[in-house]
Amino acid sequence: MWAALRRRANFSRRDRSERGAVLIEALIVIPLLMMITLGIIEYGGAYREDATLAGASRAGARVASALSKTDFGVTTTASDSGVVTAAAVASVLQSLGSTGPQAVWIYRVEPANAACGPPLFTACTYKVGYGWDSANKKFFTNELAGSGSWPSIKQYACPSAPGPDQIAVWVKANHTAVTHMFGSGRTLTGQTVMRLEPDVSSSCGTS
């Protein structure tokens, strides 16, 4: 009888020990699983928005490259090629909400000028930028500070060497964190570079 009681006591202690071990393991594993899950949610959202920016820059570059030998940023009218390109970019950015997108820049790529490029573009000869109108979810037609223009007479679109100018579309947006466990957010950008469609007319223009 005493032996049976001792066995039951041993089983009871072992059972309590096992329950305690399971509880400790749960306290360690559950927070790790929560962090992994929240990380997937956070970085998954950022990846989706980054892909949207890439798509927006591609859409803008396709439109801009087809508008060779037209004026970019010369006027603020809806027919200006800069405004038309910005509208194409904005159409892809609608899924980012009203406050995510920030700016779009359209500029001539200068391979010999490493300083020409984002995020300031001050060293670029020809560039035009537009800020985001959050109230209407589109880009303003008025240009950003430091912007300029790229008139048609300054575009080289001849098919002969060195080939047509390269035009780039750069898009910037802010990603707002969902969980705030990995920071409040981050800045996302996307850029696409294409050549202007060749102009086969007798007058190609000059750089």
DSSP string for 41-94: HHHHHHHHHHHHHHHHHHHHHHHHHHTTTS-BSS--STTSHHHHHHHHHHHHGG
Q: In whole numbers, what is the pLDDT of the chain averaged over residues?
A: 88
pLDDT of residue 1: 53
pLDDT of residue 5: 43
Domain residue spans of the chain: 27-195
The phi, psi pair for 154, rounded to 5°, reads -105, 10
pLDDT of residue 166: 97
pLDDT of residue 155: 93
pLDDT digits (tens, 9 = 90+) for 93-108: 999 989 999 999 999 9
Cβ atoms of residues 196 and 65 within 8 Å: yes
pLDDT of residue 187: 95
pLDDT of residue 106: 98
pLDDT of residue 13: 55
Residue ranges of the chain with per-residue pLDDT less than 70: 1-18, 20, 201-207
- The 10 Å CB-count burial string (b at 16+, else e) for 24-59 is eeeeeeeeeeeeeeeeeebeeebeebbebbbbbbbb
